[in-house]
Chains A and B, each alone.
Chain A
């Protein structure tokens, strides 16, 4: 399995263990607190589920047993005592050591594990109410996960590849870009592009290649396999492949030595320069002896070797950095402010016409654009990046339950804030598990009811106005409202005579401790699922709804507000106020001509090259004061499969728009998905086109 997924699980597990410890500490002071017991239970449950999925089978098996104990605590069959807490603390430490020693021989820890587990069993049987057979069921293998041999990209040797295409390489139909791609395909590559040979623009021949590259390739491929990449370009490209020594006993080499070995600089030049106080790389660059890229490449090589040596020493190697979401929020806000100030400076500079100032303003614009893009890209991720995990989950779980299920996904490109995506992951896993376990029927049952043998679960994501809507729908047996109702009464969630409408009944599913499954399976069904899902979604300021047609399937719909997103917007003006229309809905802009209006003169219908297109005048919609200009513009938009025109005073142009959500006071205001700040500091409202069209049609009808 991909290493990133395992790393993600490790990060997640560290958080869960942290949470577990906090809950346990609180539980020591308040042993009767049910919510704390739930927290412990959920942490164990998630560790078990995700652990099994990413091949941490030892953790999954171990936590399954601890979870079983806490299930009894939760059910009131077992009391929290000092013994139990001590053991759970030990269990937590054990999971941590399993995590820390992932990939190594875990047998030294197994004695510890069985000691802890037998301790738990003593407690459980000591209570007298239960025999250890229940707890023993945990020794069954947990979720058979087919672990692909983890291929670590950090394995293998470090090769230094320098490729210097001749200018005429393109005229043989070869493309250096492909060579770089091929190299990247061999392993982990650090690529340094040398731009110093690009001639001034007026001498630049765009048909020639002026770039060259240093590539540090960590790969298991042999040197000749790397050379094979250059098979067709031996005459068109100078290249060299050298293996860098990284075995444990080499001394860490100095930057100067590396550069000399690369042939970038002579030994004498290095020694001559080695008199000053500054760092060698900086001095060499300043002295104009060699370009900054060469130094950068050599430094990276030094770092790579350093890292490898450190990893061999057992020290922690380079890992991802986890930053709290609040810090990113602050950064995000600051960048927003920066962009606004920058465009103000741009306008002032344009007015003053001072050319040095203009140049600086342009540089500032480029910089702030880059800062904005990279800040956003830190946070935004297409949801599709997580879909592959779910595909695996569905495959494994359907095999385990003996069902045949396809996962159909759509809307992979929908981008979501990384934090949202991370926190949503568990919720989606729970929903999928529920669909697999309770929703889709076994093949024979499906055939008997005239359905195709294979069930389908649809996982889709889409933007809808200001929201991102994520749906998990299956074509299974659906949810029986009567069963839900009975269960609710049984669990004491509602009274016998409570009058509930269908929607309220469905909402019962999201109550803590609710589960309709008769038996407890590994897949789902201890009732941890849905209340957690609801809590996660609510904490993201979203909502969840369950819909079901008995016999035909059920669908869980999660709606999340687009707290942070960037859209391409079309800036328009109506009555002196700026508005932004989402550009992806815009088909065309044109002048509104009287003869294009429908026959009834007053006309809410436009004749667009013979097609009838209804339109909405935003001026009327907002009841803007003042007279409409002589020539109005129509923006033709695609809304829910039909074309609708929106009449505005003026179309200003395209504009990348950072959506800022409106404050709570305005939450109930319909027709807007947010606001954005224009270059001159003025506000523009982002229109929720879909909503406006619907409202307007509703008004008309």
Chain B
């Protein structure tokens, strides 16, 4: 079973992501911000879904830190962006993000993206 970590300061987004992915047969680890995510990043994590704007540590910094760890250098990292964050999207890609999902999104869109990058 593949394990996906969802990082978001919004509990409702985390809940929706976790619910959708668990139903689709993934294991899910939840983290409330970048710092929490880094603390929980150990063992088998096959993919990360992260928000960009978060307290303590933002998504861009998280992506950079994850990419600097050998074990997670090549795992897919998908960022959750909003329409207004076009510049942020490029910044995230430069930091090493695999792809993005534009908020708001539907569960099936989320699954489509996860299945696109995680096999």
Q: Which residues of A contact B (CB under 8 A)?
A: 170-175, 178, 181-182, 207, 231-232, 235
Known: A172-B97, A173-B98. A232 touches B74 (CB 8 A): no
Known: A232-B98, A232-B99, A235-B93. A173 touches B75 (CB 8 A): yes
> Is the pair A178, B117 in contact by a Cβ cutoff of 8 Å?
yes
Q: 10 closest A-B pairs (Cβ-Cβ)?
A: A173-B98, A232-B99, A173-B76, A170-B74, A172-B98, A174-B98, A173-B77, A172-B96, A173-B75, A178-B119
Instruction: For residue B92, give the distance in angstroms from its CB to the closest CB of chain A.
Output: 10
Is residue B42 within 8 Å, beta carbon to beta carbon, of the partner chain? no
> Is the pair A171, B96 in contact by a Cβ cutoff of 8 Å?
yes
Chain A to chain B contacts (Cβ below 8 Å), 6 pairs: A170-B74, A171-B74, A172-B96, A173-B117, A178-B119, A231-B99
Query: Could you say which of B67, B99, B116, B119 contacts A171, with CB atoms under 8 Å apart?
Result: B67
CA A172 – CA B100 in complex, angstroms?
Answer: 12
Is residue B22 within 8 Å, beta carbon to beta carbon, of the partner chain? no
Query: Could you say which of A207, A232, A235 contacts B116, with CB atoms under 8 Å apart?
Result: A232
- When distances are taken between beta carbons in the complex, the residues of chain A under 8 Å from B98 are 172-174, 232
> Is the pair B93, A178 in contact by a Cβ cutoff of 8 Å?
no
Instruction: For residue A475, give the distance in angstroms from its CB to the closest CB of chain B.
Output: 31
- Please name the residue on chain B nearest to A177 by beta carbon: B119
Is residue B73 within 8 Å, beta carbon to beta carbon, of the partner chain? yes
Instruction: For residue A601, give the distance in angstroms from its CB to the closest CB of chain B.
Output: 50
> Is the pair A182, B116 in contact by a Cβ cutoff of 8 Å?
yes
CA A696 – CA B90 in complex, angstroms?
Answer: 72
A interface, over-half SS: helix
> Is the pair B93, A172 in contact by a Cβ cutoff of 8 Å?
yes
CA A172 – CA B66 in complex, angstroms?
Answer: 11
> Is the pair A173, B96 in contact by a Cβ cutoff of 8 Å?
yes
**B 59-93 to A, binary, CB cutoff 8 A, 1 in contact else 0:** 00000000100000111110000000000000001
With A173-B75, A178-B119 already in contact, 15 other A-B pairs whose C-beta atoms are closer than 8 Å: A171-B74, A172-B96, A173-B74, A173-B76, A173-B97, A173-B98, A173-B117, A174-B76, A174-B98, A175-B119, A181-B119, A232-B99, A232-B100, A232-B117, A235-B93
> Is the pair A178, B97 in contact by a Cβ cutoff of 8 Å?
no
> Is the pair B73, A171 in contact by a Cβ cutoff of 8 Å?
yes
- When distances are taken between beta carbons in the complex, the residues of chain A under 8 Å from B100 are 232
- When distances are taken between beta carbons in the complex, the residues of chain A under 8 Å from B76 are 173-174
- Please name the residue on chain B nearest to A181 by beta carbon: B119
CA A184 – CA B108 in complex, angstroms?
Answer: 22
- Please name the residue on chain A nearest to B95 by beta carbon: A172
Instruction: For residue A142, give the distance in angstroms from its CB to the closest CB of chain B.
Output: 41
Instruction: For residue B45, give the distance in angstroms from its CB to the closest CB of chain A.
Output: 12
CA A172 – CA B72 in complex, angstroms?
Answer: 11
- When distances are taken between beta carbons in the complex, the residues of chain B under 8 Å from A232 are 98-100, 116-117
CA A175 – CA B75 in complex, angstroms?
Answer: 10
- When distances are taken between beta carbons in the complex, the residues of chain B under 8 Å from A173 are 74-77, 96-98, 117
Query: Could you say which of A171, A174, A207, A235 contacts B117, with CB atoms under 8 Å apart?
Result: A174
CA A191 – CA B119 in complex, angstroms?
Answer: 20
CA A174 – CA B93 in complex, angstroms?
Answer: 11
CA A174 – CA B73 in complex, angstroms?
Answer: 11
Instruction: For residue A654, give the distance in angstroms from its CB to the closest CB of chain B.
Output: 30
- When distances are taken between beta carbons in the complex, the residues of chain B under 8 Å from A235 are 93
- When distances are taken between beta carbons in the complex, the residues of chain B under 8 Å from A207 are 73-74
Instruction: For residue B3, give the distance in angstroms from its CB to the closest CB of chain A.
Output: 15
- When distances are taken between beta carbons in the complex, the residues of chain A under 8 Å from B77 are 173
- When distances are taken between beta carbons in the complex, the residues of chain A under 8 Å from B116 are 178, 182, 232
- When distances are taken between beta carbons in the complex, the residues of chain A under 8 Å from B93 are 172, 235
- When distances are taken between beta carbons in the complex, the residues of chain A under 8 Å from B119 are 175, 178, 181
